[in-house]
Structure 1
Amino acid sequence: MTTKNKIGSVLKLAVPIAIGLASGYLMVFVDLFMVGKLGNDALAALGIAGFTHAMMLSLVAGVTPAVQGIVARWMGEGNSQPKCLPLNGGLLIALIIGIPLSIICHYFTPAYFAFVSSDPVVVAEGSAYLRALILATLAIGFMRAFIGFWAGMSRAKVIMVIEILMNVVNAVLNYMLIFGHWGAPAMGTEGAGIASAIAYVFATTLFFIMTFLMMKAEGFLTILPGKKLLIALFNRGIPAIFQELFFAAGFVVLFMIISMIGSEEVAAATVLTRITIIMLLFAMALGMASSTLVSNALGKGEVDLANHWGWLTGVIGIFTITLFGLPMLIFPETVLSIFMPAGKALEIAVVPLQLIAMTNGVVSLVYIFSITLFSIGHGTAVLLVSFVLQWLIFIPAAWFVGPHLKMGLLGVWVAYTVYTLLATLFISMIWRIGKWKTAHAV
Structure 2
Amino acid sequence: MNQTFTLKEKTKQIFVLLVPILITQLGMFSMVFFNTIMSGRYSSSDLAGVAIGTSIWSPIFTGISGIFLAVSPIAAQRFGEKKNDEVATVVKHGMYLSVLITVVVILLGTFLLNPILNFMELAPKVHDTAFDYLVGLSYGMLPLFLFNVLRSFIYALGKTRVIMVIMLLSLPINLILNYVLIFGKFGFPELGGAGAGYATAITDWIFLGMTIYIVKSKDSFSSFQIFSNLKEFSWEQCKEILKIGVPMGLSVFFETTVFAIVTILLSKFNVTTIAAYQSALNVVSFIYMIPISISTALTVLVGFEVGARRYKDAKQYSWLGIGTAVLIAIGTGLVVVAFRYQVAGLYSTEAAVINLTANFLIFALFFQISDAIQATAQAALRGYKDVNIAFIMTLVAYWLICLPTGYLLANFTSLGARGYWIGLTIGLLAAGIALSFRLIQIQKKKFNALVSGTIN
Q: Into which bin does the TM-score normalised by the smaller protein fall?
A: 0.7 to 0.9
Matched, 1:192 2:196: yes
Q: If you compute each CA radius of gyration, which structure gives the higher value, 1 or 2? A: 2
**Match of residue 323 from structure 1:** 331
Tell me how far apart the structure 1 counterparts of residues 277 and 45 of structure 2 sit (CA, whole Å). 13
User: Deviation per CA, 1:98-117, whole angstroms, max 9, x where unpaired?
Assistant: 12202322542343244357
Q: Give the aligned partner of residue 173 of structure 1.
A: 177
Q: Does 1:9 align with 2:9?
A: no
**Among 95, 99, 104, which residue is 1:100 paired with?**
104
SS at match of 1:433: helix
For the pair 1:352 / 2:360, whether they are aligned, the reply is yes
The 1:398/1:183 distance shift into structure 2, 3 A limit, reads farther
Tell me how far apart the structure 1 counterparts of residues 392 and 401 of structure 2 sit (CA, whole Å).
Answer: 13
CA distance in 2, matches of 1:50, 1:364: 25
Pairs within 5 Å for 1:56-205: 56-81=60-85, 83-116=87-120, 126-178=130-182, 187-205=191-209
In the TM superposition, what whole-angstrom CA distance separates every residue of 1:107-160 from its partner, at most 9, and x where no partner exists?
423432443577777656544544433432222211211121001011111111
Tell me if the contact between 1:68 and 1:291 (Cα under 8 Å) persists in the aligned partners: yes
Is the 1:129–1:191 Cα contact (8 Å) retained in structure 2? yes
Give the Cα–Cα distance (whole angstroms) in 1 for the partners of residues 56 and 154 of structure 2.
27
SS in 2 for 1:218: coil
Identity rate of aligned residues, in percent?
20
Shift of 1:374: 2.7
Task: Spell out the pairing of 1:31-42 with structure 2 (5 A cutoff).
Answer: 31-35=35-39
Contact kept in structure 2, 1:89 and 1:225, CA below 8 Å: yes
Which deviates further from its counterpart, 118-127 or 149-158? 118-127
Map Cα deviations across residues 20-64 of structure 1 (whole Å, 9 max, x no partner).
122122222333444566798777765554343222124522344
Match of 1:167, SS?
Answer: helix
Q: Is the 8 A contact 1:58 1:245 kept in 2?
A: yes
Which of these residues, 287, 300, 304, is aligned with residue 296 of structure 1?
Answer: 304
Corresponding position of 2:442: 434
Higher RCO (CA-CA < 8 Å; seq separation 6+): 1
* Whole-Å separation in 1 of the counterparts to 2:310 and 2:213: 35
CA gap of 1:116–1:158, structure 2 versus 1, over 3 A, is same
Cα RMSD (Å): 3.3
Query: Which runs of structure 2 are paired with 1:259-270 in the superposition (5 Å)?
Result: 259-261=267-269, 265-270=273-278
Q: Is the 8 A contact 2:404 2:423 kept in 1?
A: no
Distance 1:411 1:376 in 2: 35
Letter in 2 for 1:164: L
User: SS at 1:324's partner residue?
Assistant: helix
Mapped partners of 2:123, 2:420: distance in 1: 21
Question: Matches of 2:173 and 2:271 in 1, distance apart?
Answer: 31
Q: Secondary structure at the residue paired with 2:83?
A: coil
1:385 lines up with 2:393 in the alignment: yes
Look up the match of 1:222: 228
Alpha carbons of structure 1 residues 284 and 343: separation in structure 2 relative to 1, 3 Å: same
Further displaced range: 22-31 or 298-307: 22-31
Distance 1:263 1:204 in 2: 42
Once residues 119 and 346 of structure 1 are traced to their aligned partners in structure 2, the CA distance between those partners, rounded to angstroms, is 30
> How many Å apart are 1:174 and its aligned residue?
3.2
Matched, 1:28 2:48: no
Distance, in Å, in 2 between the alignment partners of 1:178 and 1:255 is 29
1:357-408 deviation line (CA, Å, top 9, x unaligned): 4441442122222223234321112211221122223234444555787965
Q: Tell me the residue number matched to 1:419.
A: 427
Offset of residue 340 of structure 1: 5.1
Work out the CA distance in 1 between the residues paired with 2:369 and 2:179. Answer: 34
Shift, 1:296, TM fit: 1.4
d(CA) in 1 for partners of 2:352 and 2:148? 38
TM-score (norm 1): 0.87
